[in-house]
Amino acid sequence: MPPGPGKGGDEEFEDLRAEDGNAMVRLFGEYGRGERVRFGVGGLASVFSTLMELLPAFLLGVAIDSFLLDDRAFRLPYVPQAVLPDEPMGQFVLLASILGGSYVMGAALGWVNSWAWNGFAQHFQHAVRVDAYDAMQRRELSFFDDRQTGEVMSILNNDVNQLEGFLTNSLNTGIGIVFRVGGMGAVMLALNWRLGLIPAVIIPALGYASYVFVERIHPKYQSVRSAVGKLNSQLENNLGGIEVVKSYTTEAAETDRVAESSRSYLDAQWDAISTRILFWPTLRLLTAAGYMATFLVGGYWVMVNRGLLGPPLPFFNGPGLTGGLLVTYLLYTRRFMWPMRQFGQIINDYQYAEAAGERIVGLLDTPPGITDADDAADLDEVAGRVEYDDVSFGYQTTDGEQEQVLRDVSFDVEPGEMVGLVGPTGAGKTTLMKLLMRMYDADDGAVRVDGRDVRNVTLRSLRDAVGYVSQEPYLFYGSVRENIGYSRPGATDEEIVAAAKAAGAHEFVVDLQDGYDTTVGERGVKLSGGQRQRVSIARAVLKDPEILILDEATSHVDNETEAVIQDSLRDLVADRTTFAIAHRLSTVRHADTILVLDDGELVERGTHDDLLARDGLYATLWRVQVGEVDALPQEFLDRAASYSPQPGDGDD
Ligand SMILES: Nc1ncnc2c1ncn2[C@@H]1O[C@H](COP(=O)(O)OP(=O)(O)OP(=O)(O)O)[C@@H](O)[C@H]1O
């Protein structure tokens, strides 16, 4: 029972947990319905293949009594005596045939069971995973802000796999246990209820021991998992930062830290192992006790029955016990141990599956925070007028507080205008643009496109109208062609090349090993920051949106390349509303309007010349950039120093 993947994470996503009802029942009702046939066939096959397993020991008992000891006449339950052969040879052949038949049937039913049951679990899981992914993808951006990618993945992977593990193995085994152990117990009680009392005691005792064991070992496995997790993240961190480790010659200290984590893992494992190795001997002892009791009581009874010990004690009256029956009992008793060993684990697996199910149901049932209003209409024929009306916004921090990022920002932009957005780092420029795409909703005030509040138009039509090139563009694993074409499925090669040319990407793309077919993104060819930006600009250009947002889109390219891109973008931005966020002020020098944002407030607005004449923040920033002043005013430096990066910084 190793600490397999997918068993952790109970404590994560507490907020996602479905509050009411039984999640497994709900998932079963919704996703199991389509799989009824597989479920039914698998379940029935499991029951009958289990019953086939009970036959051999029973037949052996019949054979011993009829052929070896001659204690009982040849009889089979539910079979009329008239149809049974009279001759011992015929009886023997019949028994052997039933025995052989039961093995063949058992194997065939086992196969049917695995086929149907695995099919059920896989299809169930597939449907749940796809729906969970879809529900997750629809969640608002802030859902992802507060979580690490790995955490989000854990629902789609671990939790869904947890369900699969439970459905494929535990549920099936559980049904098997009920019928195998229950069947054996019932047969024993029916054949001789007095001797049947022993399994009636020993089966619950084994089940209880198994449950107690799992309850004890469970927290120990959790500790092992968390120790593995810590060790892994430490190794990952160290390997990722190997350059830093080497350059600061901290190898010895890092080895010590890894040794410490490894030691914690060893201790946690040893603790779990110490408990685990007690389990099996305990079950063996309990089973042996049942076996011994059956042997002693049954043996005594058989001897009385055969007249070897005189009259029976008071309890041992009733029909006598034959040697063959005793053998059947003894064989059954030994077989309790294996299935009952799994009993506690199944209960435990159910608890895990239920917890995983609750998170999945929570995810499926929570409506996205940002979604179309009931009466949302499409934004048609977009002209590109943008209006911010007293907009305030703050991010929700993980501890539930709100951090104010934008305060009462108001401005209008006419269709086709080029707007430069400048200001110190952390001033809120990216955030301001994210409100335009409705990645977040303003807390106060309104953002309007063509006079319509973005909250009253459909998300799809709004985002279709906006092209966004982010600071750190993301390239998917795939070819350059696919990455550019992502914004417009079905775009022709000519259109893709034209977009790449406009973005200044064509020249370097054709120089790549396979040109537009070169694989990029994670595990692909590594492009430089500037090259990624240009592919990303090409992607936005291809989309041909009415409103274009360039968020530091050329920050990673050199001045010459930027000039080339600017030149080729000139036509592009001419007939659409464009917002260009830039630290390098020369980028936005020729903008129709420059908005200067400082600490969440719009402090200046005008053309480059207006703002220089005004001699405010913009003029100061400009002079620093052209080298006219050596240092920024002290007040500005103090504020920059006090700016502390927040989670989410840099990933916009
Ligand atoms: N997803 C987020 N969750 C919480 N806080 C955020 C998030 N994104 C940004 N912030 C915070 O909001 C503030 C404004 O960030 P924003 O990225 O809008 O600034 P910016 O002006 O674009 O900065 P830069 O020029 O460095 O890109 C910063 O204090 C930042 O830490």
pLDDT digits (tens, 9 = 90+) for 12-34: 455 666 655 688 888 888 888 88
> For ligand 1, atom 7, which residue shows the shortest CA distance?
648
pLDDT of res. 388: 95
Question: In the predicted model, what is the mean pLDDT of residues 270-287?
Answer: 88
pLDDT of res. 12: 47
Neighbours of 111 (CB within 10 A): 12
- Compute the distance from residue 473 Cα to the ligand 1 centre, in Å: 16
Confirm or reject: Cβ of 416 under 6 Å from ligand 1.
Answer: no
Whether 566 is in a domain gets the answer: yes
Confirm or reject: Cβ of 395 under 6 Å from ligand 1.
Answer: yes
Q: How confident is the model at residue 61 (pLDDT cuts 50, 70, 90)?
A: confident
Residues 336 and 427 in one domain: no
**Final residue in a domain of this structure, among 332, 365, 398:** 365
Check if the beta carbon of residue 449 is closer than 8 Å to that of residue 462: yes
Confirm or reject: Cβ of 651 under 6 Å from ligand 1.
Answer: no
Residues 397 and 347 in one domain: no
Confirm or reject: Cβ of 405 under 6 Å from ligand 1.
Answer: yes
**Final residue in a domain of this structure, among 365, 396, 430:** 365
> For ligand 1, atom 8, which residue shows the shortest CA distance?
648
Residues 398 and 343 in one domain: no
Residues 360 and 392 in one domain: no
Among candidates 144, 244, 239, which has minimal Cα distance to 647?
Answer: 144
Distance CA 153, CA 613 (A): 53
Helix (H, G, I), strand (E, B) or coil at 632: coil
Confirm or reject: Cβ of 646 under 6 Å from ligand 1.
Answer: yes
Residue 525 is classified by DSSP as B
Question: In the predicted model, what is the mean pLDDT of residues 81-95?
Answer: 81
Residues 246 and 106 in one domain: yes
Whether 376 is in a domain gets the answer: no
Q: Of the segments 149-153, 295-299, 569-573, which one has the largest average pLDDT value?
A: 295-299
Among candidates 263, 265, 280, 268, which has minimal Cα distance to 213?
Answer: 280
Residue 114 has pLDDT above 70, yes or no: yes
Distance CA 606, CA 555 (A): 23
- Residue spans of beta strands (DSSP E) within 208-251: none
Three-state SS annotation for 591-610:
CCEEEEEECCEEEEEECHHH
- Compute the distance from residue 583 Cα to the ligand 1 centre, in Å: 14
Reported as half-sphere exposure (CB side, CA atoms, 13 A), residue 582 has a value of 25
Dihedral of the CA atoms 635, 640, 644, 646 (nearest 10)? 130
- Compute the distance from residue 27 Cα to the ligand 1 centre, in Å: 39
pLDDT of res. 9: 42
> For ligand 1, atom 6, which residue shows the shortest CA distance?
648
Whether 373 is in a domain gets the answer: no
Residue 185 is classified by DSSP as H
Reported as half-sphere exposure (CB side, CA atoms, 13 A), residue 69 has a value of 19
The more confidently predicted of residues 398 and 201 is: 201
Residues 283 and 421 in one domain: no
Residues 425 and 537 in one domain: yes
pLDDT of res. 183: 80
| 475, two tokens | 């390239």
- Compute the distance from residue 425 Cα to the ligand 1 centre, in Å: 8
Residue 48 has pLDDT above 80, yes or no: yes
| 71, two tokens | 């204690």
pLDDT of res. 131: 92
Residues 101 and 195 in one domain: yes
Neighbours of 373 (CB within 10 A): 12
Among candidates 289, 294, 288, 293, which has minimal Cα distance to 328?
Answer: 294
Residues 133 and 81 in one domain: yes
> For ligand 1, atom 31, which residue shows the shortest CA distance?
646
Cα–Cα distances (Å) from 477 to 57, 105, 150, 507, 520, in that order, read 59, 50, 18, 21, 6
Confirm or reject: Cβ of 430 under 6 Å from ligand 1.
Answer: yes
Range of the domain at 631: 386-642
| pLDDT tens, position by position, 447-475 | 999 999 999 999 999 999 999 988 888 88
- Compute the distance from residue 403 Cα to the ligand 1 centre, in Å: 10
> For ligand 1, atom 28, which residue shows the shortest CA distance?
426
Q: How confident is the model at residue 406 (pLDDT cuts 50, 70, 90)?
A: very high
Whether 9 is in a domain gets the answer: no
Q: How confident is the model at residue 630 (pLDDT cuts 50, 70, 90)?
A: low
Check if the beta carbon of residue 547 is closer than 8 Å to that of residue 576: yes
Which ranges of 322-458 would DSSP assign to H, the alpha helix?
A: 323-334, 337-341, 343-365, 429-436
Helix (H), strand (E) at residue 238: helix 193-240
The enclosing domain of 419 has a CATH number of 3.40.50.300
Question: In the predicted model, what is the mean pLDDT of residues 164-193?
Answer: 83
Whether 530 is in a domain gets the answer: yes
> For ligand 1, atom 11, which residue shows the shortest CA distance?
646
Q: How confident is the model at residue 392 (pLDDT cuts 50, 70, 90)?
A: very high
| pLDDT tens, position by position, 185-242 | 887 888 788 888 888 888 888 888 888 888 888 788 878 878 887 888 888 888 888 9
Q: Tell how strand 386-396 and strand 466-469 pair up.
A: unpaired
Whether 3 is in a domain gets the answer: no
pLDDT of res. 633: 65
pLDDT of res. 641: 59
Distance CA 530, CA 537 (A): 10
Least confident of 178-192, 366-380, 507-521: 178-192
Distance CA 267, CA 422 (A): 55
- Location of structure tokens 């410490």: 260
Residue 68 is classified by DSSP as I
Distance CA 152, CA 369 (A): 17
What's this model's pTM, rounded to 2 decimal places? 0.76
Distance CA 160, CA 13 (A): 14
Residue 76: what residue type? Answer: L
The enclosing domain of 152 has a CATH number of 1.20.1560.10
pLDDT of res. 1: 35
Among candidates 471, 473, 498, 490, which has minimal Cα distance to 572?
Answer: 498
| pLDDT tens, position by position, 421-434 | 999 888 999 999 99
Residues 247 and 326 in one domain: yes
| pLDDT tens, position by position, 118-167 | 999 899 999 999 999 999 888 888 888 766 666 677 778 878 888 888 88
Question: In the predicted model, what is the mean pLDDT of residues 276-291?
Answer: 86
* Rg, the chain, Cα only: 37
- Compute the distance from residue 140 Cα to the ligand 1 centre, in Å: 17
Domain count, the chain: 2
Whether 171 is in a domain gets the answer: yes
Which ranges of 241-322 would DSSP assign to H, the alpha helix?
A: 242-247, 251-305
Residues 592 and 540 in one domain: yes
Nearest atom in ligand 1 to the alpha carbon of residue 395 is 4
Question: In the predicted model, what is the mean pLDDT of residues 596-611?
Answer: 91
Nearest atom in ligand 1 to the alpha carbon of residue 471 is 27
Least confident of 242-251, 513-522, 553-562, 575-584: 553-562
Neighbours of 438 (CB within 10 A): 21
Assign residue 163 a region (left: φ > 0; alpha: ψ between -120 and 50; beta: otherwise): alpha
Whether 372 is in a domain gets the answer: no
| pLDDT tens, position by position, 313-353 | 777 766 667 888 888 888 888 887 777 777 777 887 887 78
Residue 518 has pLDDT above 70, yes or no: yes
Distance CA 163, CA 245 (A): 41
- Location of structure tokens 């003894």: 330
Assign residue 70 a region (left: φ > 0; alpha: ψ between -120 and 50; beta: otherwise): left
| 309, two tokens | 């010990």
- Compute the distance from residue 444 Cα to the ligand 1 centre, in Å: 18
Residue 592 has pLDDT above 70, yes or no: yes
Nearest atom in ligand 1 to the alpha carbon of residue 646 is 31
Residue 637 has pLDDT above 70, yes or no: no
- Compute the distance from residue 122 Cα to the ligand 1 centre, in Å: 42
Q: How confident is the model at residue 250 (pLDDT cuts 50, 70, 90)?
A: very high
- The answer, yes or no, to whether ipTM is higher than 0.85 is yes
Q: How many residues does the chain have?
A: 652
Distance CA 574, CA 591 (A): 11
Residues 197 and 262 in one domain: yes
